[in-house]
Amino acid sequence: MANLSTKIAKYLEAQGKDAQVEFDNETVVIEDTGSGAELILWNVSGVTQPTADQIASYETAANTVENNHTVIKNRQKAYGKIGDQLDQLYHDMTAGKLDATGEWHKTIKAAKDKYPK
């Protein structure tokens, strides 16, 4: 189940709003009340507060966003540090392996295969 904040962000985007701006400006506030996250403040200019059904309708889109975020974080770890990647590329260039046989490509491909979107 997707986080309430992600579903509300998708709702805001569908209404033509920048969700990050709305959360940062505290025109939308979500708090954990002990029984889960709840929308406690809605002051978005030109957009009515969503109903529970409207929020729920963004479950699939929000799950996709959250899953992609997890994939990206896992891939970043698997790719290694950028300095190490550049070193791999240097050695691949020196060996004439700037194709699928190079170590850099193998490392990146393994990460992408392990953590598909």
Whole-prediction pTM value? Answer: 0.78
CA 2 to chain centre: 12
**What pLDDT score was predicted for residue 34?**
87
pLDDT in tens, 63-115: 999 999 999 999 999 999 999 999 999 999 999 999 999 999 999 999 999 99
pLDDT tens, residue by residue, 6-28: 999 999 999 999 999 999 999 99
* DSSP secondary structure letters along 12-34: HHHTT--HHHHHHTTSEEEEE-S
Contacts of 9 (CB under 8 A, 6+ apart): 19, 20, 23, 62, 65
Confidence check: pLDDT of 35 > 90: no
pLDDT at 3: 95
Domain boundaries, the chain: 1-70, 80-117
8 Å CB contact between 62 and 2 = yes
